[in-house]
Amino acid sequence: MVDQPMKHAIILAGGRSQRMGIDKLSLVNGSTTMLAAVCESARCYADQLWVVGSQRPGLGTDVCFVRENPPFSGPAAGIMAAVRCMPMIGETLILAGDLAHPEEIVHLLATASIPKDKDGVILVDESGWKQFLCAKYSLQSLHNIHSTAINVAVKRLFSNLDFHNIYVSKFLVDDIDIPEKAAAYGFKSEKTGVKFRLALPNFTDGAS
C-alpha cells in the first residue's frame, strides 16, 4: 500500500486586529477561543496544523507556529513562511483565523478534490470574490511560487494559480473582524468576560 501524503492546514493568526481594537483571536464563545475553533475544525481534514503568528497556549501538540519575516509583513509572507516548512507533495488548506463558520468551510474543502489540471479548490461568494483564505492548495503549486511575498497582497501572490471554484454565500465565508460581528456570533473578551453589546448586523444568506 502506498503511503498517502500528510494533509496540512495553514491558519493565519498574525494580524494586529486593528478593526476589533483587541486581540480578536483570543475572544471566546463558551470556553473556546476564536482561533481554537478554527484549529479544531481544520483537524477534521489536516494531520498537521501551521499557525502563522505568535505562539499561543492551548491549541494542541499538533500545531507548529511560524512567523512571517519581518513580523507584520503581511499574510502572504506568513503563508510562504509556512509553505517553506512543508514537503513538495500533498495539499494544504489555507484558512483565516477569524472565520465565523470554520467547520462548514473545512467540510466543503475537505470533500472537494483538486482536479489534476488545477492548482487548488477555492470558495467564491455570490459577488464573485475568490476567498483565498478559504481554499485548498496543491503544495507543489505553492512551492512553485517564487516570491518573498513581503507586503504583497494575497490576491497578487496567487494571481497565476488556476482554481476549481465552489460557489457559496457571503454569509458562509464571513469573518469576525469588528465588534458588531463578534457580538452577532456570541464572542466575548476572555479577560473581562464582557460580551460586546452593539447593534447586530443584518446578515443575508443564499448563494445563487
Cα–Cα dist 27/188, whole Å: 5
How do residues 103-136 score in pLDDT, each as one tens digit? 999 999 999 999 999 999 999 999 999 999 999 9
Strands (E), 77-198: 91-96, 120-124, 130-138, 163-167
Checking if the pLDDT of 2 tops 70, the result is no
Dihedral, 49, 141, 161, 157 alpha carbons, nearest 10: 60
For residue 76, the surrounding DSSP H or E stretch is: helix 75-83
Q: What is the CATH number of domain 7-184?
A: 3.90.550.10
Cα–Cα dist 60/58, whole Å: 6
**How many Cβ atoms are within 10 Å of 194's Cβ, its own excluded?**
8
Checking if the pLDDT of 187 tops 70, the result is yes
Q: How confident is the model at residue 158 (pLDDT cuts 50, 70, 90)?
A: very high
Domains in the chain: boundaries: 7-184
Q: What is the mean pLDDT of the chain?
A: 87
Predicted model pTM: 0.87
Q: Is 32 helix (H, G, I), strand (E, B) or coil?
A: strand
**How many Cβ atoms are within 10 Å of 160's Cβ, its own excluded?**
10
CA distances from 146 to 7, 11, 141 (A): 22, 21, 10
- Residue 154: what residue type? V
Cα–Cα dist 196/199, whole Å: 9
Of 90, 96, 91, 60, nearest in space to 78 by CA: 96
